[in-house]
Structure 1
Amino acid sequence: MTGVLAGFELRNLGSELLAGITLVTIAIPLNIGYAQIAGLPPTAGLYALIVPTVVYALTVSSRQVVVSPDAAAAALVASSLGGLAAAGSDAYLTMALAQAIICGAVLLLMAVCRLGFLANFLSEPILVGFVGGLALDILVSQAAKMLGIHLESGEEFVGKLIGLIGGLVEANPWSALISALSLGVIVLGRRLSPLVPWALIVLVGATAAVAVAGAEEAGVAVLGEVPAGLPVLTLPTLGLHEWLLLIPSALALTAVISVEGLLVSRSYAERRGYPVDADRDLAAYGLANVAAGLSGSFSVGSSTSRTAAMDQAGSRTQLPSLLLAAVTLILLLFGTGLLESIPSPAIGAIVAVAVAPLLGLRKLRRLWRLDRFEFAVAAVCFLVTVLVGSIPGIIVAFVLALINLARRAAHPAIDVLAVPGEAGAAPVSPDADSERLIAGSGTVSAPGVLVIRLAAPLFFANAEEFMRTIRRSVDAAAESGEPVRHLVLDLEAVTDVDVTAADGFARLREWLDARQIEIGFSRVRTGALPRLRRFGVIAEPDRVYASNREALRHTRER
């Protein structure tokens, strides 16, 4: 089956429905917690499971990725709106809805312009640092909730941490006990049986315990009244200035949603062997976010934890998401009274367990072991996000992505395949030398011949490095007493050239002419040859060889 509910077959109906029940037990308690992180009423989290979920499930190309508010999106909403309106107020909610609509509109624009490839520009270290910083901020907030400590809304991380430490003397022992027991049940329970809905068990058990023991009278905070009824489709009413104020944070949300969503989608598609369309997925995220903003919810993106749970449960379609929407709809119509006495410490414990892996400690250790520069990139994103804020964090993430890209582009792989020297000085025969040159491995000696290969497009960022390498190699050969007479450039990997590189190459050609060095080209790509000729990199008199072997044979004969 293709299109809507791709991958669905009647023989899979049982497993898909069972996966849907699993998704219900995971998503409802988590969405209540994420709504609280965002500073929004519980209904904002539940509404996200209805219209946005259905819209996404019917339009996305991925068969498995689950859409929902997640910890990173919730933290971004809270940190970006905290300075614009008081958390929990009508103005705050209206801004959250408008933010989701802007985010959706940008995602739709990206899909129309086929910009899905832009998701590849935020590397794993950048995401690890940024999401890890958000996770630490969330954990401090949830720790306060688990201990019954009140923190002022809109506080940045340092203020929250100071408030948490200062409030320890006023911690509520009943809240701390509920939190400790909830954490123990979830953590130990998952080790014993990962498929059991321990979060739901904790909510039911904690709610019953609070009711029996009268813990609410002892100061334990509970969820409170949850309005019953369906989400109402409305357009947020804001002034132009307020809409403009929301654009930076909406762009930050767009970046996180698109990058994380497309990476997760591609990962599961490759693992399970089905096709995905990045631009169609962007459109699905865009429509889901517009639907969220119009139906009383906040920004939604891919849920890595829920997608992993569905994959583990054997789901290979979007049917569990549709079942989740239906169950949530029934809950909002007939069962909101069951939610009112849920203790906040239990919700905090559930969210803390879900968010803890996002700290990325294992990934940071791996980066430290593999590449210190990549680790530094992740660490900078982490610290800026924690100490300065989420919006500066995402800006720094993009800047670091550009710096990292420029650094790599400016230092391409440049291989010196052959150096001037007596043929007998080579460790292998000339014919074998030629074969090694064709294969692109090793360095050989050839009388008066220098063969260099650039393994990248020739453009402004790497042109100077390429020319510098050629000059150094020519000078080194002259100092060794084996001057270069023929320079052969292997252009097999050169797919493009720009004006800056062409101008630099013209100066290099003058430098080579002054030293009476003949230039030739080998293995030029057919598609790149016209452009290389038009830009003057390859001139009419220059020889173009089909292979390095042909280039060596020709220079030896001469």
Structure 2
Amino acid sequence: MRPLAGLSRTNLLTEFSAGVTLIAIAIPLNIGYAQIAGLPPTAGLYALVVPTIIFALVVSSRQVVASPDAATAALVASSLGGLAIVDQSNYVAMAFAQAVLSGGFFVLAAVFKLGALANLLSHPILVGFIGGLALGILTSQVAKMLGVHTGSGGEFVEKLTGLVSRIGTADLPSIAISAVSVAVLLLGRRWAPAVPWALLVMVGATVVVATTHADEHGVSVLGAVPAGLPTFTVPDLTLTQWSALVPSALALTLVTMAEGVLVSRSYAEKRGYPVDADRDLMAFGLANLASGVQGSFAVGASTSRTAAMDQSGSRTQLPALVLAVGTVLLLLFGTSLLAEIPSPAIGAIVGVAVLPLLGIGDLRELWRLDRAEFGVAAVCFLVTLLVGPLAGIFVSFILALANFIRPATNPPIDFFTAGRQQPSGDIEMIDPGLLVVQMRSPLFFANSTEFQRRVRDAVADERRPVRYLVIDMDGIHTVDVTAAQQFGRLRAWLTEQQVSLAFSRVDPAAVRRLRRLGLLQPDDTLYPDDRAAAKQITGAAEPELYEKLVLSRSGRRLT
């Protein structure tokens, strides 16, 4: 896949126009996300230069936009809040180092082709985790919009307590700026979604503050932003400090990996072009390494900006390069324009941007479709919100593992007996002495005991003694040593019950391994399919009788 795949003369103007739109969206949001992360505005702007260029030239996706987003900013703030106890410069250096470590994890994941790990986080888990982060962000942005200073508390309960206890200190000019900003953003997005309302709100609010001197009457402003391009720097931390950052960096990597690969795959399927998950992981890795060594924090896949580019007609990575050039021009010649940006307007921009991340619609749909999946999302939401993002990540992966193991330890097992299908639809038993077992799962240590128990119960529960047991191996793709040993006990029990054992649909390539494990014996009968086994065992030799032969249980046909 070549860089800027999909770019041609026919779509050059569309892609460039989309890049201008991306500048209008990304700059105000990145300033806000830097503030969420507890970093200077330049940390958000620097992420739009070198990391963006590297990602655009390496990634296989033609549309995914890489940038710090609400989730990564909240993770950075929450995970570093308790670690940076010396001073602000220590905090900033740790944020940069965290990005470097995350980049290293991404590169390792790409080298070892671990793109499939992104599938470990299911949709309900992501909905709950990101929703919990979003509500915590929204609380802090509401405080900013009201002009309320809630202190340095990083967790949701502390933020909410600080907001409620200090609500009496709310600043009326800040509330007015916020109210107008929110109204413009929400109504503008509904009536004219193509217009860069975030940029217009930021510019308009800045003009109002500059002309009315509202900053002298309680409205907080961004303040001076240093001019100049990012410079290469290695975070100056001790080995102990680097080690303390590993868990949070790994959490950032896992969340970004899951969301990034999911977004990349969904847009590739929607627009009909190929993607390479491992190449995308390498792109995230190199972008994060660049981010950390040039004064920025962790970057991930921006779902909102990717969606905006898709809606604008962009199908290449050219808008990302246009964004990088525009940010360079701003850093060289326009940082003085940023000093008077009011914090309430930034809070409104970020607050409106994270509203969709609450996942209210997704939670409602999960409640309608599957209450258990809703419960998984709710647990992730509450743990992330009340305990913290790292605890949310841990619980998410425990739930993901449990969600994977639960069906594997209790696999679907069907039992079928031979009979004739009557015109009335009833089943006339031909020979209840035949029982066919069908399991659609690998046979391994976690489910072998359950398999053995259910087969024994089925043999013992038949109305007439079972004389032949046929195990359908089509769904049993693999067998481990523990399962083979358990199966040996089942075979011995069947021999005691005078039940003959046979197999159907055994993969020819697996016969040697199954015999080495002791699952198959040299004299075992192997049938090509269940009907052939039933025909041979029940003696239904006539073609017309065989046509009427079905394998069924409770009137269900085996297809």
Q: TM-score, normalised by structure 1?
A: 0.94
Task: Quote the offset at 1:387 in angstroms.
Answer: 1.0
Kindly indicate whether residue 263 of structure 2 is the aligned counterpart of residue 278 of structure 1.
no
The answer as to whether partners of 1:496 and 1:531 remain within 8 angstroms in 2 is no
Amino acid at match of 2:316: T
Q: Which residue of 1 aligns with 2:516?
A: 534
Task: Quote the offset at 1:154 in angstroms.
Answer: 4.2
The answer as to whether partners of 1:40 and 1:88 remain within 8 angstroms in 2 is no
The answer as to whether partners of 1:87 and 1:154 remain within 8 angstroms in 2 is no
Question: 2:245 aligns to what SS in structure 1?
Answer: helix
Q: 1:388 to 1:351 in 2, by over 3 A?
A: same
Mapped to 1, the partners of 2:287 and 2:509 lie a distance apart of 41
Q: Which whole-Å deviations, capped at 9, do the CAs of 1:476-513 have from their partners, x for residues lacking one?
A: 10xx2x21111111111221110111111111101110
Mapped to 2, the partners of 1:39 and 1:445 lie a distance apart of 76
Q: Which residue of 2 aligns with 1:374?
A: 373
Select between 517-526 and 43-52 the one with higher mean Cα deviation.
Answer: 517-526
The answer as to whether partners of 1:178 and 1:206 remain within 8 angstroms in 2 is yes
Written as runs of structure 1 = structure 2, the 5 A alignment for 1:286-325 is 286-325=285-324
Kindly indicate whether residue 521 of structure 2 is the aligned counterpart of residue 517 of structure 1.
no
Q: Which whole-Å deviations, capped at 9, do the CAs of 1:301-347 have from their partners, x for residues lacking one?
A: 00000000111111111100011000000100000011111100000
Kindly indicate whether residue 417 of structure 2 is the aligned counterpart of residue 419 of structure 1.
yes
Question: 1:419 aligns to what SS in structure 2?
Answer: strand
Amino acid at match of 1:208: V
The answer as to whether partners of 2:430 and 2:538 remain within 8 angstroms in 1 is no
Mapped to 1, the partners of 2:451 and 2:518 lie a distance apart of 17
Question: 2:509 aligns to what SS in structure 1?
Answer: coil
Amino acid at match of 1:504: Q
Q: Which residue of 2 aligns with 1:476?
A: 461
Q: Which whole-Å deviations, capped at 9, do the CAs of 1:100-131 have from their partners, x for residues lacking one?
A: 00000011011111111111111111111111
Mapped to 2, the partners of 1:87 and 1:374 lie a distance apart of 42
* Identity percentage of aligned residues: 60
Q: Which residue of 1 aligns with 2:448?
A: 463
Written as runs of structure 1 = structure 2, the 5 A alignment for 1:25-64 is 25-64=24-63
Kindly indicate whether residue 166 of structure 2 is the aligned counterpart of residue 167 of structure 1.
yes
Mapped to 2, the partners of 1:444 and 1:268 lie a distance apart of 53
Structure 2: runs of 5+ lacking an equivalent: 541-559
Select between 123-132 and 97-106 the one with higher mean Cα deviation.
Answer: 123-132
Task: Quote the offset at 1:375 in angstroms.
Answer: 1.2
Question: 1:528 aligns to what SS in structure 2?
Answer: helix
Q: 1:446 to 1:289 in 2, by over 3 A?
A: farther
Kindly indicate whether residue 132 of structure 2 is the aligned counterpart of residue 133 of structure 1.
yes
The answer as to whether partners of 2:68 and 2:302 remain within 8 angstroms in 1 is yes
- Runs of 4+ in structure 1 off by over 3 angstroms are 426-429, 442-447
Q: Which residue of 2 aligns with 1:550?
A: 532
Q: Which residue of 1 aligns with 2:468?
A: 486
The answer as to whether partners of 1:49 and 1:325 remain within 8 angstroms in 2 is yes
Select between 387-396 and 321-330 the one with higher mean Cα deviation.
Answer: 387-396
Q: Which residue of 1 aligns with 2:436?
A: 451
Question: 2:514 aligns to what SS in structure 1?
Answer: helix
Q: Which residue of 2 aligns with 1:498?
A: 480
Q: Which residue of 2 aligns with 1:185?
A: 184
Amino acid at match of 1:134: L
Task: Quote the offset at 1:215 in angstroms.
Answer: 1.0
Task: Quote the offset at 1:444 in angstroms.
Answer: 7.7
Task: Quote the offset at 1:469 in angstroms.
Answer: 1.9
Written as runs of structure 1 = structure 2, the 5 A alignment for 1:223-238 is 223-238=222-237
Task: Quote the offset at 1:390 in angstroms.
Answer: 1.0
Q: Which residue of 2 aligns with 1:84?
A: 83
Written as runs of structure 1 = structure 2, the 5 A alignment for 1:337-348 is 337-348=336-347
Mapped to 1, the partners of 2:382 and 2:86 lie a distance apart of 25
Q: 1:457 to 1:149 in 2, by over 3 A?
A: same
Mapped to 2, the partners of 1:87 and 1:384 lie a distance apart of 28
Q: Which whole-Å deviations, capped at 9, do the CAs of 1:399-437 have from their partners, x for residues lacking one?
A: 111111111211222122x226xx45x5479xx99xxxx
Mapped to 2, the partners of 1:264 and 1:522 lie a distance apart of 42
Q: 1:232 to 1:154 in 2, by over 3 A?
A: farther
Q: Which residue of 1 aligns with 2:201?
A: 202
Mapped to 1, the partners of 2:271 and 2:245 lie a distance apart of 38
Amino acid at match of 2:287: A
Kindly indicate whether residue 78 of structure 2 is the aligned counterpart of residue 93 of structure 1.
no
Q: Which residue of 1 aligns with 2:326?
A: 327
Question: 1:488 aligns to what SS in structure 2?
Answer: strand
The answer as to whether partners of 1:126 and 1:381 remain within 8 angstroms in 2 is yes
Task: Quote the offset at 1:87 in angstroms.
Answer: 10
The answer as to whether partners of 1:522 and 1:545 remain within 8 angstroms in 2 is yes
Select between 397-406 and 218-227 the one with higher mean Cα deviation.
Answer: 397-406
Question: 2:417 aligns to what SS in structure 1?
Answer: strand
Task: Quote the offset at 1:547 in angstroms.
Answer: 1.2
Question: 1:527 aligns to what SS in structure 2?
Answer: helix
Kindly indicate whether residue 267 of structure 2 is the aligned counterpart of residue 268 of structure 1.
yes
Q: 1:290 to 1:428 in 2, by over 3 A?
A: farther
Q: TM-score, normalised by structure 2?
A: 0.94
Task: Quote the offset at 1:250 in angstroms.
Answer: 0.4
Question: 1:448 aligns to what SS in structure 2?
Answer: strand
Structure 1: runs of 5+ lacking an equivalent: 434-441
Select between 81-90 and 138-147 the one with higher mean Cα deviation.
Answer: 81-90
Amino acid at match of 1:557: G
